[in-house]
């Protein structure tokens, strides 16, 4: 027999984050009926609404269904009591980042607006320390030459080491997430699975097939694809730039194919982000409540891309503030890349893991 262990503080927190009055839910099941991703034999999000209403945290953190939801908002649109189940599921995901974060303070650092200055000061302090130790902390005269001010070898090695450390910790915690999903999933259902289906999941992610069922948010798939593939292209260009710096072929000239690819990636990201911001600002009824995590993610990716573009223009134009812009860009890189497992961008890891688990237990 299951022992019910309600966590009222958790329920309050979910209500605050999602703006949902959980007591208003009358368990009609409309939300599960309209959800195009919910399977017939284990539908969501109605059962999550029950558990959230009871404050059953241990059933929600590590629940695979929470990550199969792609936040299309259809369930909120058709909820007769305006409870906003889509925002509630999103709030559970936000709580999951914090629950699985190690060290814990990093999860708190990027989830509370009051801690934003600290989250920014950490990369600022690290970069200043590197510049001081390398002895390059003085803006050089003459044409803009970033390598004369920023010791790329030091920066690349320090940033790579910290990224590996944070991502290693995230991989360890994803193991716990997998274990929790197993524990919460009925054993007899698990036995129907036929192993890990990496290529199937990869196909789903690349094609964005799970976005196709969204009834009310037709632009979401396009916007997400623009940001997703733009970001992927930017990672490839950055890896090439690191290699070019190591082999002293840096900076790249304007017509270098990788430079052109970087500019195309920026354009794709700006397009996708523009649609996302527009929808969140002017289409709130369909796109739901936008919280700190949403704006932090959009803002961080936007500033990273914008500062990267300005850094390039500043070099070609020999702008006086070129080095300051580069400094800001490095802080943005840290914010997006190093903090990734602890912010909403962590869905790249969590959703992929949940999809792998779902397909491994035979969920369609
Ligand atoms: S969240 Fe809304 S649609 Fe879903 S069960 Fe509750 S009242 Fe019905
Ligand atoms: S937001 Fe969309 S995918 Fe998520 S539970 Fe609601 S209807 Fe299903």
For the Cβ of 37 lying below 6 angstroms from any atom of ligand 2, the answer is: yes
State residue 309's pLDDT score: 95
Structure-token match 């970069």, residue found: 127
Q: Which residues line ligand 1 (CB under 6 A)?
A: 25-31, 46, 49, 79-81, 83, 85
Q: Tell me, what's the pLDDT at 216?
A: 65
E strands, 108-180, where?
A: none
Query: Which of 22, 23, 24, 28 should be mutated for ligand 1, with most atoms under 8 A from CB?
Result: 28
Among residues 39, 66, 53, the alpha carbon closest in space to that of 6 is found at: 53
Asked if 302 and 272 touch (Cβ cutoff 8 Å), the reply is no
Nearest CA to ligand 2 atom 3: 69
Which residue is it, tokens 């409309």?
30
Query: Is residue 73 within 6 Å of ligand 2 at its C-beta?
Result: yes
d(CA 234, CA 294) in angstroms, rounded, equals 21
Q: Give the residue, by CA position, lying nearest to ligand 1 atom 5.
A: 27
Q: Is the CB of 74 under 6 A from ligand 2?
A: yes
Whole-number Å distance between alpha carbons of 193 and 200: 14
pLDDT score at 2? 64
Query: In a mutational test of the pocket of ligand 2, which residue from 46, 51, 52, 69 has the highest number of ligand atoms less than 8 Å from its CB?
Result: 69
The Cα 67–Cα 55 span in angstroms is 19
Residue-level pLDDT at 215: 65
- Cα of 340 vs centre of ligand 2, distance in Å, is 24
Q: In tens digits, what is the pLDDT along the chain, a chain of 364 residues?
A: 566 788 999 999 999 999 999 999 999 999 999 999 998 888 999 999 999 999 999 999 999 999 999 988 899 999 999 999 999 999 999 999 999 999 999 999 999 999 999 999 999 999 999 999 998 888 998 899 998 999 988 999 999 999 999 999 999 999 999 999 999 998 888 887 778 889 999 999 999 988 877 666 678 899 999 999 999 999 999 889 888 877 877 778 888 999 999 999 999 999 999 999 999 998 877 788 899 999 999 999 999 999 999 999 999 999 999 999 999 999 999 999 999 999 999 999 999 999 999 999 988 7
Ligand 2: distance of its center to the CA of 211 in Å? 10
83 touches 36 (CB < 8 A): no
Encoding tokens for residue 238?
Answer: 């950055």
**pLDDT reported for residue 217:** 67
For the beta carbon of residue 360, count every other beta carbon within 10 angstroms.
20
Contact in structure between 322 and 311 (CB atoms under 8 Å): yes
Closest residue by Cα to atom 8, ligand 1, is 28
Structural domains in the chain, CATH included, are 8-100 (1.10.1060.10), 104-214+291-360 (no CATH)
Q: Which two tokens stand for residue 97?
A: 């980042």
| Residue 28 alpha carbon, nearest atom of ligand 1 | 8
The predicted pLDDT at position 289 comes to 84
CA-CA-CA-CA dihedral for 17, 23, 28, 30, to nearest 10: -20
């Amino acid at each position: 027999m299951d022992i019910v262990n309600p966590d009222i503080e958790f329920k309050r927190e979910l209500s605050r984050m999602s703006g949902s009055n959980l007591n208003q839910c009358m368990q009609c099941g409309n939300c599960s009926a309209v959800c195009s991703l919910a399977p017939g034999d284990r539908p969501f999000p109605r059962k999550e609404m029950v558990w959230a209403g009871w404050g059953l945290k241990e059933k929600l953190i590590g629940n695979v269904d929470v990550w199969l939801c792609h936040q299309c908002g259809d369930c909120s649109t058709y909820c007769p009591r305006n409870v906003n189940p889509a925002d509630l599921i999103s709030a559970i995901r936000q709580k999951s980042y914090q629950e699985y974060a190690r060290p814990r303070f990093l999860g708190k650092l990027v989830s509370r607006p009051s801690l934003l200055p600290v989250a920014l000061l950490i990369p600022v302090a690290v970069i200043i320390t590197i510049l001081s130790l390398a002895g390059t902390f003085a803006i050089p005269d003459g044409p803009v030459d970033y390598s004369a001010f920023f010791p790329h070898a030091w920066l690349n090695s320090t940033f790579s080491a910290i990224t590996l450390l944070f991502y290693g910790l995230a991989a360890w915690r994803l193991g716990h997430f997998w274990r929790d999903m197993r524990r919460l999933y009925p054993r007899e259902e698990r036995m129907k699975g036929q192993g890990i289906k990496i290529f199937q999941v990869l196909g789903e992610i690349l094609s964005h097939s799970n976005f196709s069922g969204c009834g009310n948010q037709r632009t979401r798939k396009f916007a997400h694809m623009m940001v997703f593939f733009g970001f992927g292209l930017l990672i490839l260009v950055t890896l090439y730039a690191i290699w070019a710096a190591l082999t002293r072929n840096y900076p790249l000239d304007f017509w270098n194919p990788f430079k052109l690819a970087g500019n195309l990636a920026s354009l794709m990201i700006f397009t996708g982000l523009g649609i996302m911001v527009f929808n969140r600002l002017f289409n709130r009824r369909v796109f739901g409540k936008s919280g700190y995590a949403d704006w932090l993610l959009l803002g961080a990716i936007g500033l990273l891309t914008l500062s990267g573009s300005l850094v390039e223009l500043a070099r070609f134009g020999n702008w006086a503030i070129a080095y300051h812009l580069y400094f800001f860009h490095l802080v943005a890189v840290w914010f997006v890349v190093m903090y990734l497992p602890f912010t909403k961008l962590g869905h790249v890891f969590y959703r992929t893991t949940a999809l792998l688990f779902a397909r491994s237990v035979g969920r369609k």
